[in-house]
Structure formats: structure tokens, C-alpha cells
């Protein structure tokens, strides 16, 4: 994998300057969770909020974080986020993924959240191990 400091990497989405941050690493992520609006995953289900909602993040989120694909380290952490943010009306399923190290750069955040800045060649749908219904949370 190319280093972030070397030749310009081709990311899946256009990223703001200094993004991904220096702390982000190209590491494999095993058994991580992503919210899905249906049981039929599509590539666009892995778009960042920046792409989906525009480049103005909420006050507690950096533009770089807003430009990443959000993942969670466990089902429990994902469920906690769904409950906290009242996202249940928008999402019905989880995708459980194994993301290879050459897929992009990730950084751990608070409460089991991971930010993933995907490289252009990576197809997240192919990394799905399983789809689970969220159920009543």
C-alpha cells in the first residue's frame, strides 16, 4: 500500500485537505458493523455523510470525519448509536464486514466508532460477511 505521504492516493470520495489525518492507519478491520437501509447492500450505502448530506458537518464533527465511512467495532456499539441518535427509522439492517488493510485508512473514535477513508479500488459490498436485521432496539 502506498504511504499517505507519497504519491497522491486515489480515494473513493474527494477528501478535504489533511484528510485522512496522520493518525489514520492502513490496517485490516475484522467484523466491523455498518448501518444499512435495507437487506440489499449497494455501494452507495457506504458513502460518507459529506457526500450524502453536503459538506457542512455538525459542530462536534470535523469535516474530515464527516467525509469518512462510519463503522462500529461491535454490534453493541452500533446498537447504542442507533438508540442514541434515533437512527432506527432510517436503517433496518447491519452489514458485518472484514475490511482488508489495502482498502483505505481508518481511525478509531469515541464509543466504538471507526472512520474509514476508502481507496477508489475498494468495493465495500465485496467485504460483507453477513447482513443482520437490526430488530427492535
21-43: per-residue pLDDT in tens? Answer: 999 999 999 999 999 999 999 99
CB 95 within 8 A of CB 36: yes
The structure's pTM equals 0.89
Classify 131 as helix, strand or coil.
strand
pLDDT(57) > 50: yes
In DSSP terms, 11 is beta-bridged to 119
Across the beta sheet with 29-36, the strand order is: 104-108, 113-118, 69-72, 29-36, 93-99, 128-133
CA atoms within 13 A on the CB side of 63: 10
φ and ψ at residue 46, rounded to 5 degrees: -110, 10
Helices (H) and strands (E) in the chain, counts: 3, 6
Name, in order, each residue with C-beta under 8 angstroms of 20's C-beta and a sequence gap of 6 or more. Answer: 4, 64, 68, 104, 105, 107, 115, 117
Q: Which domains does the chain have, with CATH numbers?
A: 29-133 (3.20.170)
d(CA 106, CA 1): 14
116-137: per-residue pLDDT in tens? Answer: 999 999 999 999 999 999 887 6
Amino acid at each position: 500500500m502506498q504511504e499517505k505521504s507519497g504519491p497522491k492516493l486515489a480515494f473513493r470520495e474527494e477528501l478535504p485537505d489533511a484528510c485522512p489525518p496522520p493518525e489514520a492507519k492502513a490496517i485490516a478491520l475484522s467484523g466491523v458493523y455498518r448501518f444499512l437501509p435495507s437487506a440489499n447492500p449497494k455501494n452507495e450505502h457506504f458513502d460518507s455523510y459529506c457526500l450524502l448530506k453536503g459538506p457542512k458537518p455538525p459542530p462536534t464533527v470535523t469535516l474530515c470525519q464527516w467525509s469518512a465511512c462510519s463503522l462500529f467495532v461491535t454490534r453493541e456499539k452500533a446498537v447504542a448509536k442507533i438508540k442514541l441518535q434515533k437512527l432506527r427509522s432510517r436503517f433496518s439492517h447491519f452489514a458485518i464486514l472484514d475490511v482488508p488493510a489495502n482498502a483505505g485508512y481508518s481511525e478509531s473514535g469515541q464509543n466504538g466508532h471507526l472512520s474509514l477513508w476508502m481507496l477508489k479500488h475498494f468495493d465495500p459490498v465485496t467485504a460483507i460477511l453477513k447482513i443482520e436485521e437490526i430488530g427492535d432496539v
